[in-house]
């Protein structure tokens, strides 16, 4: 079987070695070497010319969970299945990141840090946990795994997705008609939606205003789901207490962007969950072996809905 590998640049050697070990029978070509045809293309944010020079015939594997970049490429071959990473070590990292943000919001870490800077000794009344709902905007592979990790902490859990979920301990809301009710129940809003034509700019002023006063927004999905100016306006107006942001419309976040120095925003450079080489290679290799046997695999992207 022929494989074209175009891995993330920072760990090229590790990806090559891991795939060679996991698929010893495969003939692996490393981009920018470009055979005219390959059975499988394994790519991470490929340059547009990749699909002009190499024709994948069986499947394209995205070496990440989000496929917005790939689906936006005009050179992406139309009919070949696109398969994404599912968890592959990212859910545990997301659980760590989001737990930190939720607990920081609940125990008012930002307000205490401010008081410390001012040299002010002032115990604050404990927030009521039953009213401190954690809302998952997007409740797929990562959202569900993070909710499972958070469950022992005792916060009410609510989720919003395209289709309704039956998961014990989680109140499920589905579709646009139920979005406002979901937002009203989310004291911490955790965005884990894919970026699609349907979700871009979803969190604008009107929607963010539906969150309860004092709410905290955590965006670990994609920057273009949030309208930056509207988020800043609601933080400045005091409707929102804080935001934890890992993803941005433009990355790296441009110097001078208002997020950089906003006192109620904590930001990280798209590191909430990084791709783990070994777990990802094991998953992709297992799916390639399944496809070679003629078995179905999960994680196949629906190009019409965009995830
Ligand atoms: N910051 C990082 O480092 C990082 C790392 C990994 C992933 N991500 C981002 O996280 C996203 C989620 O990953 P995942 O693996 O959990 O994806 P997933 O399994 O595909 O889950 C997506 C969820 O969003 C829901 N959804 C999609 N479009 C919707 C719409 N228009 N209305 C309502 N719900 C909608 C889906 O609903 P249904 O369940 O009903 O289909 C599903 O629950 C990725 O797309 C990626 O952009 C970021």
* Segment 104-121, tens digit of pLDDT: 999 999 999 999 999 999
* Mean pLDDT, range 261-270, rounded to an integer: 97
**pLDDT grade, residue 83 (50/70/90)?**
very high
Q: Is 223 in the pocket of ligand 1 (CB under 6 A)?
A: no
* Mean pLDDT, range 136-155, rounded to an integer: 98
Residue 207 falls in the annotated catalytic set: no
Ligand 1 pocket mutation pick from 86, 157, 193, 269 by most atoms within 8 angstroms of CB = 193
Q: Is 253 in the pocket of ligand 1 (CB under 6 A)?
A: no
pLDDT at 79: 94
Q: Out of 84, 187, 207, 222, pick the active-site residue.
A: 222
Atom of ligand 1 nearest to the CA of 307: 20
Count, residues in the chain: 307
Atom of ligand 1 nearest to the CA of 273: 3
Whether the predicted pLDDT of 34 surpasses 90? yes
**pLDDT grade, residue 279 (50/70/90)?**
very high
- Percent of the residues in the chain that have a pLDDT greater than 90, as a whole number: 99
Whether the predicted pLDDT of 151 surpasses 90? yes
* Mean pLDDT, range 267-286, rounded to an integer: 97
Q: Out of 270, 289, 303, 305, pick the active-site residue.
A: 270
Whether the predicted pLDDT of 10 surpasses 90? no
**Whole-angstrom Cα distance, residue 107 to residue 236?**
21
The Å distance, Cα 196 to ligand 1 centre, comes to 10
Give the residue, by CA position, lying nearest to ligand 1 atom 30: 162
**Whole-angstrom Cα distance, residue 218 to residue 228?**
13
pLDDT at 52: 98
The Å distance, Cα 146 to ligand 1 centre, comes to 12
C-beta separation of 70 from 82 below 8 A? yes
pLDDT at 256: 97
Ligand 1 pocket mutation pick from 87, 147, 194, 280 by most atoms within 8 angstroms of CB = 194
* Mean pLDDT, range 22-50, rounded to an integer: 98
Write the secondary structure of the chain as one string of H (helix), E (strand) and C (coil).
Answer: CEEEEECCHHHHHHHHHHHHHHCCCCEEEECCCCCCEEEEEEECCCCCHHHHHCEEEEEEEECCCCCHHHHCCCCCCCCCCEECCCCCCHHHHHHHHHHHHHHHHHCCHHHHHHHHHCCCCCCCCCCCHHHCCEEEECCCHHHHHHHHHHHHHCCCEEEEECCCCCCCCEEEEECHHHHHHHHHCCCEEEECCCCCCCCCCCECHHHHHCCCCCEEEEECCCHHHECHHHHHHHHHCCCEEEEEECCCCCCCCCCCCCCCCCCCEEECCCCCCCCCHHHHHHHHHHHHHHHHHCCCCCCECCCCCCC
Atom of ligand 1 nearest to the CA of 199: 31
C-beta separation of 263 from 114 below 8 A? yes
Name residue 2's beta-bridge partners. Answer: 27
299: left (phi over 0), alpha (psi -120 to 50) or beta: left
Residue 239 falls in the annotated catalytic set: no
Q: Is 141 in the pocket of ligand 1 (CB under 6 A)?
A: yes
Kindly report the backbone phi and psi dihedral angles of residue 301, in degrees, each rounded to the nearest multiple of 5, phi listed first.
-75, 135
The Å distance, Cα 60 to ligand 1 centre, comes to 19
pLDDT at 251: 98
The Å distance, Cα 43 to ligand 1 centre, comes to 20
Whether the predicted pLDDT of 66 surpasses 90? yes
Give the residue, by CA position, lying nearest to ligand 1 atom 47: 66
Q: What is the mean pLDDT of the chain?
A: 98
Q: Is 67 in the pocket of ligand 1 (CB under 6 A)?
A: no
Whether the predicted pLDDT of 157 surpasses 90? yes
Atom of ligand 1 nearest to the CA of 86: 15
């Amino acid at each position: 079987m022929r494989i074209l590998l175009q891995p993330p640049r920072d760990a090229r050697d590790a990806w090559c070695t891991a795939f060679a070990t996991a698929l010893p029978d495969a003939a692996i070509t490393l981009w920018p070497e470009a055979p005219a045809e390959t059975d499988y293309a394994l790519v991470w944010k490929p340059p547009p010319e990749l699909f002009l020079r190499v024709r994948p015939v069986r499947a394209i594997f995205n070496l990440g969970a989000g496929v917005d970049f790939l689906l936006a490429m005009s050179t992406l071959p139309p009919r070949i299945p696109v398969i994404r990473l599912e968890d592959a070590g990212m859910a545990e990292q997301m659980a760590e990141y989001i737990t930190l943000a939720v607990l920081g919001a609940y125990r008012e870490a930002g307000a205490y840090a401010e008081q410390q800077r001012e040299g002010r000794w002032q115990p604050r009344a404990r927030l009521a946990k039953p009213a401190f709902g954690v809302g998952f905007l997007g409740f797929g592979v990562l959202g569900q795994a993070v909710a499972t990790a958070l469950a022992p902490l005792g916060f009410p859990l609510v989720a919003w997705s395209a289709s309704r979920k039956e998961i014990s301990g989680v109140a499920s809301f589905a579709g646009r008609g139920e979005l406002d009710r979901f937002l009203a129940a989310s004291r911490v809003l955790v965005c884990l939606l894919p970026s699609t034509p349907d979700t871009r700019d979803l969190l604008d002023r009107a929607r963010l205003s539906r969150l309860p006063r004092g709410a905290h927004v955590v965006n670990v999905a994609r920057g273009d789901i949030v309208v930056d100016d509207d988020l800043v306006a609601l933080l400045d107006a005091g409707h929102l207490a804080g935001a934890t942001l890992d993803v941005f419309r433009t990355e790296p976040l441009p110097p001078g962007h208002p997020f950089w120095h906003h006192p109620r925003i904590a930001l990280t450079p798209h590191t909430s969950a990084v791709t783990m080489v070994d777990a990802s290679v094991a998953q992709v290799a297992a799916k390639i072996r399944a496809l070679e046997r003629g078995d179905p695999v999960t994680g196949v992207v629906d190009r019409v809905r965009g995830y």
